[in-house]
Each structure stands twice: as C-alpha cells, then as structure tokens.
Amino acid sequence: MQTYTAPLRDMRFVLHELHPAKPLPGTEDFTPDLLDSVLEEAGKFCAEILLPLNAPGDEEGCHYENGVVRTPKGFKEAYKAFSEAGWGALNADPQYGGQGLPETVAKLVEEMICACNISFGLYPGLSHGAYVALKSHGSEELKDFYLPKLVSGEWSGTMCLTEAHCGTDLGLLRTKAAPQENGSYTLNGSKIFISAGEHDMAENIIHLVLARLPDAPPGIKGISLFLVPKFLPDANGKPGQRNGVSCAAIEHKMGIKASATCQINFDDAKGFLVGAAHKGMQAMFVMMNSERLSVGTQGLGIGEAAYQGAVAYAKDRLQGRSLAGAKYPEKPADPIIVHPDIRRNLMTMRAYNEGCRALGIWVAGVMDIAERSEDPKEKAEAEEFIAIITPVVKALFTDLGFESANLAVQTYGGHGYIRDHGMEQLVRDSRIAMIYEGTNGIQALDLVGRKLPANMGRGLRRFFHPLAAFIEAEQTHPKIGKMVQGFARAFGALQLATGFIAERGLKDAEEAGAAATDYLRLFGLVALGFMWMRTAKIAAEASGDEEFYTAKLATARFFVERILPQAGALLFTIKSGKGAMMALEDSAF
C-alpha cells in the first residue's frame, strides 16, 4: 500500500529560508503564512484524493472504444474537484482567471501531485503547457477566448508534436495546414504519443499542433503552430460541432497507465494560427523551459514517494541483528534500518530529494523573475540562467527519481518487486520521464551543443559566479569549511571539464557529444552540491528546531562525502574522449 505525507517542513525551509523571494509585481499579497496554507491544503488534497486513485488507476488503466477514451474509476470526479478547488490555476495570470501565485509555490504543489499520482497530474500539466505556449504567442482574440477555459479546467489542452517517423527531429514532420478564406486553416496529418489527447474529464480538448503551411521552407524553420479544438465552439462559447479530430488508438505502456497516451488524427480539422507563420518552434521553446522543470519535478515527486515508502518499510521490517550488536533487544530481530547498506539507500534518496527540491525552487524563483521583473537587465540575466539550467534539471531529476525508485524496491527486497506495496509501480511510472520532453541524452546534447557556447558563455557565468563567490566566502567557515572544500574540488572538476569540452568540441563535434551525458551529470551534481552547501550554512547558524537542522547537516555531509566524489570519476571519463566510444564500425554491432 502506498503512503505519502507532504514534506511541508522541508518545503517551507526551501521557500522561506533557502530561497526567500524578492518582491515582484503581483506578489505583494502573498505572505509566507498564505503560501504555507496553500501548501498544507495541497498536501491534504493530494494525499486524500489523488493517492487512493494511484494504484487502482494503474491496475485499471484507460479504456478505448470507437474513438472514445474513458479514464479509470474516480479520475473524472477527482479532476472536477481539482479544477473547482483552483489547483490548476495557481500560477496562471489573474487576467484569465488564475490566482497569480509564484512559480515556486506551483512547483511545490506539482511535486505533491506527482508523488501521489503522476498519471493524474499529466492531464492538468499538459493543459498548463498549452496555456504557456498560447499566452506567449497567441493573438489577443485567441487568448481571451481560450485561456480562461484552460485555466478553469473546463477545457483541457495538449501539445501535438511527435509523428511516427519523427520525434526529436521535428524538421521531418509531415502534418499539413492549408489556409482558408475566412482566416482559419485546415489541418491533415497524424500525431502519436499525445498525452491526455483524448479523455472524458473535460468538456473540450484544445490541441496545439505543429504543422507545415504550403509555402513552408524545409526543416525546422518551416514549422507553424495551430490551435485545433476537439469541438468547435458555438456562438455561446460552448462546445459545438465536432471538429475533424479523432483518437485512433491509445498506447499500452510500461507505466503511467491511467494517463491516456493517444494517436490523434487530423482530417480536414479546423485550426487557428498561433503566432507567426513558420515560427511555431519559438512558441515551443517558450513552453519548453517550464515543461522541463515540470518533468524534472515528476522525477522528484516519484523520488519522494519512494523514499517515504522505503523509510516506513525499513523501520517496520525485522530482519537480522545490527552488526554492532542488537539495537532492539526486546524484539526478535532488529528493523532493517539499522543496517549500513539500507542506510546507504535511504540517505542517497534523501540527499537526492532534498537537493533536487532546493535546486528546483531556485530555478522556479528565477522563472518568476523572468516573468514578472520590470528590470530588463534582470529579466535578461534570468533568462540566460534558465536556458542553461533547465536541461540539467530535466535530465538530472528524472535520472535520480528513477534511481530512487529502484533503491526503494531494493530496500523492500522481494516485497518491493511485487505489486502490493506500490514500489514497482514507481519504477515503471518514473521511467517515462527520462524519455519525454526530449530524452535525457538530447538534454545533454542541448547543454553542450547549444547552451554552453550561447551568448559567449554568459549563461554559464550566471551559474558559475555565485558558486565561486560562495566558496571564496565560506571555505574557512568554522562549522562547514571542510564540506565547502570538498565541494570546491567538485566545482574545480566541472570547470576543467567545461574547458576540455570547449576546446575539443570546437574542433570535433563528436567529442562534445561523447562527453555530453557525463558532463550533464557532473554539472547536476555540482548544482546539487551548491544547494547542499547553502543549506548547510543556514543549518549550522540556525537556532531552534534542532532536530531538523541537525538532519540537514548530516545529509549535507553524506552528499559531500558519499555522492559528490563521483565528480572526479566523471572528469576522468570526459577527458578520455570519444575514441573508445566511436571505435567500432556500424557493421560490427
């Protein structure tokens, strides 16, 4: 049986102590007490409404018949309660019916949703992705009509990118859009792997579709974005005539079985251009940074659920005696939490989760600055930082979430491998996050191929400079100085790896590609290390709540001593170059 309690104390620490928000337009009324109450109520909703549907939803899955998709029992009612309570509108613009809360709070709520029921979370999550793209590039007419309905949850949204013959390489897509005399467009084509593409929870579904116009130039520069409703709105703004949009099938998947992953056909479907012709990828890139953090948050949510389940089991399961002698002599055996290897599993998950939560909210806070700041220089610097860190967040968080789910199964032993405790579902559900929204290998290539050299490396400086300043200021700190020195060695490894890739990559793109995945992991571990160093400083200087801050210091030490040394091995791997990787001819495989 799956259990979950929102880690509210740690969320408050990250939100108010580690990353206290600077005043921004539109946030003046959001006091810490108000934000805390939002998180508390979200935790209750997720644990009481969404979590009980997670295992049954996985067991039942979605049902497809004659183009109609039905979600598992209870999902429709939960979605109605979710929408009526305004959870899907937290960080949406009040102009369109949103609550205007900071991105930081919305991401913490997303974490809770993903920890309790990632399949459910994909439905409002896709709607928010569509909201971001439409808000950024849609005409005022389209925004005024469609955004309030997306924000309220009355209508849901999708992003229709992938086709059977092209995923990452969208320049190959074949879906066509033909202009009509009334200003609309007729779309024809087929898309696959469309999350939430058809379901029974909202009265209409708004598809944002990438397609080509007749005069489109070849490749990715010839892609346009279109809004295509499932039902064409009538004169009263209600779903009217069925559009030429149909669901041909749903996928039978390894995990996230309660999320409908659909093949969607467009047959003379009526659509409306979003943004400028042939500029559809601009809207996608605006949406992508937010979605990368959201997918990373899925990994974090799974990791937290896995950790909580593993801790509960490790405290309860009696097996053997402590190597140091019986710790619970009144019991027939000690609980397995006394064993070092079980502690290794639990501490690794804990260090990953709390580090990722800290890093994720740092990034979300910078996203708030990019969205709300009235200072052009500050906005530009925020956007540079976001561009370089979001591929790291997406790939690192999802890798670590999958690793945590597997560590939880290992902690449970045989009981983790069977379905009763829900750990094996976490493994299956977490695996997709490493693939969609751009595989983690693609995130690594994006980091080294696009983000590092962009703007003469300014984005990298936005990340490197605060780390260097912290090390300079705190390496002799009486309580955490030794940890900071360990962190400094890992940061030095990242700097050396960056220089190596910059030098080799300019001469040979395959050298950069061969180093990319290891470089992203090194970058991510150093980013987590920075979060743990800042956390340790606060904990070392705090007064009160001794148990919480003592645990923070202990976990920071574990991260520095047991996880961060991987940085040195990653540097050696990167510097080995492409030779061994590229040596075989294709025919030899």
pLDDT digits (tens, 9 = 90+) for 249-304: 999 999 999 999 999 999 999 999 999 999 998 887 777 888 999 999 999 999 99
pLDDT given for residue 172 in this prediction: 86
Residue 505: what pLDDT?
84
Q: Annotate 262-297 with b (16+ C-beta within 10 A) or e (fewer).
A: bbbbbeebbbbbbbebbbbbbbbebbbbbbbbbbbb
Lowest-pLDDT choice from 21-30, 165-174, 442-451: 165-174
Q: How many CB atoms lie within 10 A of CB 92?
A: 25
Question: Residues 382-399: pLDDT tens digits?
Answer: 999 999 999 999 999 999
437 assigned to active site: yes
Counting residues of the chain whose pLDDT is more than 70, the rounded percentage is: 100
Answer whether residue 129 shows pLDDT above 80: yes
Q: How far apart are CA 297 and CA 441, in angstroms?
A: 18
Cβ neighbours of residue 391 under 8 Å, at least 6 residues apart? 292, 438, 443, 444, 446, 447, 451, 520
The reply to whether 11 falls in a domain is no
Tell whether 367 is covered by a domain. Answer: yes
**CATH assignment of the domain containing 408:** 1.20.140.10
In a domain, 428, yes or no: yes
The answer to whether position 194 is within a domain reads no
How much is the pLDDT for 283?
Answer: 81
Mean pLDDT, rounded, for 477-502: 97
Which amino acid is located at 232 in the chain? L
Q: DSSP label at 156?
A: E
* Residue 86 belongs to some domain of the structure: no
Please give the share of the chain, as a percent, with pLDDT higher than 90. 93
Q: Is the pLDDT of residue 100 over 90?
A: yes
- pLDDT tier at 43, thresholds 50, 70, 90: very high
Is residue 423 included in any domain, yes or no? yes
Amino acid at 10: D
Residue among 359, 352, 319 nearest 337 (CA):
319
- What is the average per-residue pLDDT within 530-548? 97
Q: Which residues pair with 177 in a beta bridge?
A: 187
pLDDT score for 459: 86
For helices 140-152 and 103-137, angle between their N-to-C axes, nearest 10 degrees: 150
Strand ranges (DSSP E) for 97-223?
155-160, 176-179, 185-195, 204-211
Options 251, 304, 371, 437, the catalytic residue: 437
Question: Which residue, 106, 112, 554, is CA-closest to 350?
Answer: 554
Residue 40 has pLDDT above 90, yes or no: yes
Going by pLDDT thresholds of 50, 70 and 90, the confidence category of residue 323 is: very high
For residue 209, the one-letter residue type is V
Report whether 471 contacts 484 (CB < 8 A).
Answer: yes
Mean predicted lDDT score pLDDT of the chain: 96
How far is it, in rounded angstroms, from Cα 254 to Cα 421? 18
How many domains does the chain divide into? 1
* Residue 275 near residue 225, CB atoms below 8 Å: yes
Establish if 401 belongs to a structural domain: yes
For residue 455, the model assigns a pLDDT of 84
Q: Which helix (H) or strand (E) covers residue 246, if one does?
A: strand 245-250
Please tell me the number of Cα atoms within 13 Å of 354 on its side-chain side. Answer: 30
For residue 505, give its domain range: 295-578
Residue 238's Cβ-count burial label (10 Å; 0-12, 13-18, 19+) is exposed
pLDDT for 456 equals: 80
Is residue 132 included in any domain, yes or no?
no
Q: How far apart are the first and last CA of the chain?
A: 44
Confidence of residue 15 (pLDDT cuts 50, 70, 90): very high
Structure tokens at 206: 């708004």
Angle between helices 75-84 and 51-60 (to 10 degrees): 140
DSSP string, 6-34: --HHHHHIIIIIISPPPP-TT-TT--HHH
- Are 184 and 271 in contact by the 8 Å Cβ rule? The answer is yes
Q: Which of 237, 214, 227 is nearest to 184 (CA)?
A: 227
Kindly report the three-state secondary structure assignment for every residue of 451-504. HCCHHHHHHHHHHHHHHHHHHHHHCCCCCCHHHHHHHHHHHHHHHHHHHHHHHH
